[in-house]
Amino acid sequence: MIRAVFMGTPEFAVPSLDALCELGYDVMGVFTQPDRPAGRGRKLTPCPVKLRALERGLDVYQFEKVRTPEGVARLKALAPDVVVTAAFGQILTQELLDIPTHGTVNVHASLLPRYRGPAPINWCILNGERTAGVTLMLTDIGIDTGDILAARETPIGELETAGELTERLSALGAELLGDALPGYLAGTLQPVKQNEAQASYEPMLKKEMGHIDWTRPAEAVACQVRGLNPWPCAYADMPEGRLKIYLAKPVPCDADAEPGTVVTSSAKAGLIVKCGRDALDLMEIQAPNAKRMTAKAYLMGKKIEVGTKLA
């Protein structure tokens, strides 16, 4: 029987862990990040992968850095035929990669070689892509540079956010893993080199990326809003404080107003802001000292005057 080890951390990785278990392999253990402080009380909280592993009765190993001698020794002791990773969040050294007989297989949330790096789903939307996907690849010491085993593509919804797309790609990646891993281990599915000429790498997200530049076209700003939802969230500053924007869409606008100016504001018509080209319909917002809600619902009880300048 195939001896497998899984490495993953967030909710995105849970379906892949399930898919691996449902293949009938002997899952020797699950490596995941240590419990982290969370919530207002900053209580140590296990990650989603740990919770699912415990539900399945699997052994869980948590190392701050799995590449330490203790982590390497633990993986060697498990003697896996294959290691499967999905959003693990740690760098694997060559020493670790050399342990499993059939290597380490990673579920990556982009159509490689495009969008290598730590936030492929966000960048796919930020850059206005119409399609996204997942790739099953062999891990090497590069950043998402390993050979490709299989890939699967899906269209991006017109108003789909990074959070929503992450959930869909999580399921799609698990499906791809279940379909392709047996063929790879049986030798009927051969790895293919990535085309370096088509490669792109995008960096980690930062909070300041959420600040909106209203001189940009409305379509680009709408992609920024969707690509940064749920984190770090797009925002603009208004006289009363910070306005967070969770969902928006571009709309035609020929109003004679400076970028960042509110051109429409009513419970019926919503909240529309002029951009460098066209305008942005702010569909879901969190105004200063208010809860997250639709702009129309907010404007039923509060006012944002036409002519207000957002910065």
pLDDT value at position 285? 98
pLDDT value at position 43? 85
Question: Can you give the three-state secondary structure of 114-167, one letter per residue?
Answer: CCECCCHHHHHHHCCCCEEEEEEEECCCCCCCCCEEEEEEEECCCCCCHHHHHH
pLDDT value at position 38? 82
pLDDT value at position 143? 94
* E strand residue ranges, the chain: 3-8, 26-32, 36-38, 43-45, 60-62, 82-86, 104-108, 131-138, 148-155, 234-238, 241-251, 262-266, 270-274, 279-286, 293-294
Q: Which of 128, 129, 108, 130 is nearest to 119 (CA)?
A: 108
Q: What CATH topology corresponds to 207-301?
A: Methionyl-tRNA Fmet Formyltransferase; Chain A, domain 2 (3.10.25)
pLDDT value at position 40? 80
Pair 157, 164: CB distance under 8 Å: yes
What pTM value is reported for the model? 0.96
Please, which residues bridge with residue 29 across strands?
5
How many Å apart are CA 123 and CA 311, to the nearest integer? 23
- Over its length of 311 residues, how does the chain's per-residue pLDDT go in tens digits? 999 999 999 999 999 999 999 999 999 999 999 999 887 878 899 999 999 999 999 999 999 999 999 999 999 999 999 999 999 999 999 999 999 999 999 999 999 999 999 999 999 999 999 999 999 999 999 999 999 999 999 999 999 999 999 999 999 999 999 999 999 999 999 999 999 999 999 999 999 999 999 999 999 999 999 999 999 999 999 999 999 999 999 999 999 999 999 999 999 999 999 999 999 999 999 999 999 999 999 999 999 999 999 99
pLDDT value at position 39? 79
Question: Can you give the three-state secondary structure of 57-74, one letter per residue?
Answer: CCCEEECCCCCCHHHHHH
Q: Which of 181, 261, 255 is nearest to 20 (CA)?
A: 181
DSSP-assigned letter for residue 292: S
Handedness of CA 149, 153, 159, 165 (dihedral sign): negative
Residue 62 in tokens: 């948590």
How many Å apart are CA 276 and CA 104, to the nearest integer? 47
For the domain with range 3-198, which CATH number is right: 3.40.50.170, 3.90.1150.10, 3.30.465.10, 2.40.50.100?
A: 3.40.50.170
Residues of each domain in the chain carrying CATH 3.40.50.170: 3-198
Q: Which of 84, 82, 67, 64 is nearest to 8 (CA)?
A: 84
Residues of each domain in the chain carrying CATH 3.10.25.10: 207-301
Residue 233 in tokens: 């969230």
